[in-house]
């Protein structure tokens, strides 16, 4: 079990590794309760070290988001859908689950707004930028099959169904491959949007509203990437020559 967790920690994030620990402990408890193991071995599974607010959000370098968008051949039905997904995430910072849960009735074309359904059934309204609206309109008019299904984004192959949240990162990774860039998940686009806003001088509270953070402390993580501001407020080291 220890060897497995060490391998997983090298392969996945801290949060995912902690999830593996919880899964293993649940399995061991189940085996013990069912009488399949003579001892309760949950304490034999070591915890994974990881602390809140220690990581630095990773943004894509300048110009790479546009390269991802440009990599989509919008004459291809799948890539036209993928372009609409990518521009939603890149311009509005949508989470994967918000993209997957977006339904036709959530788009208010008259007022130029969309309703997002995210964590804990929370709903948020967001303005719909012109380029995002155009990409959505083209996808809905020219690519999305005629069906009674309500999700905006559907699978490209039968049986038709709404996309899963994990497909959004698959879309991002495929775009990275086409653009010749290192692979990145969809959340990297969200980090990139927040980082660009911060560098343009947008206040953290406003960035938090765009990203729909409930806690400003979550948004404050992005202050770590604004090195110019951090240098300006840093106190000199005692005895340092000025």
Task: List active site positions.
Answer: 95, 119, 187, 190, 213, 222
> What residue has token string 């947008």?
202
> What residue has token string 């809905």?
140
> What residue has token string 């788009």?
107
Q: Could you give the residue ranges of the DSSP H alpha helices within 34-179?
A: 64-70, 77-92, 96-101, 130-142, 165-179
Question: Nearest to residue 86, comparing CAs of 8, 238, 5, 193?
Answer: 193
Question: Nearest to residue 188, comparing CAs of 203, 176, 202?
Answer: 176
> What residue has token string 């309703």?
115
> What residue has token string 């990518």?
86
């Amino acid at each position: 079990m220890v060897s497995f967790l060490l391998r997983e920690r090298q392969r996945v994030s801290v949060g995912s590794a902690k999830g593996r620990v919880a899964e293993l402990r649940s399995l061991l408890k189940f085996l013990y309760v069912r009488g399949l193991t003579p001892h309760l071995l949950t304490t034999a599974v070591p915890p994974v070290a990881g602390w809140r607010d220690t990581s630095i959000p990773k943004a894509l370098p300048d110009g790479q988001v546009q390269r991802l968008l440009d990599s989509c051949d919008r004459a291809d039905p799948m890539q036209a859908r993928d372009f609409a997904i990518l521009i939603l995430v890149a311009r509005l910072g949508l989470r994967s689950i918000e993209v997957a849960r977006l339904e036709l009735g959530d788009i208010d074309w008259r007022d130029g707004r969309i309703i997002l359904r995210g964590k804990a059934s929370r709903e948020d309204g967001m303005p719909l930028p012109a380029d995002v609206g155009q990409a959505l309109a083209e996808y809905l008019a020219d690519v999305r099959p005629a069906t009674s299904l309500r999700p905006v984004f559907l699978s490209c192959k039968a049986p038709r169904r709404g996309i899963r949240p994990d497909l959004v990162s698959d879309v991002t990774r495929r775009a990275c491959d086409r653009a010749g860039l290192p692979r990145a998940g969809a959340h990297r686009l969200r980090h990139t949007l927040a980082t660009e806003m911060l560098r343009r001088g947008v206040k953290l509270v406003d960035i938090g509203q765009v990203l729909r953070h409930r806690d400003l402390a979550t948004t404050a993580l992005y202050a770590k990437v604004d090195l110019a501001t951090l240098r300006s407020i840093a106190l000199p080291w005692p005895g340092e020559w000025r």
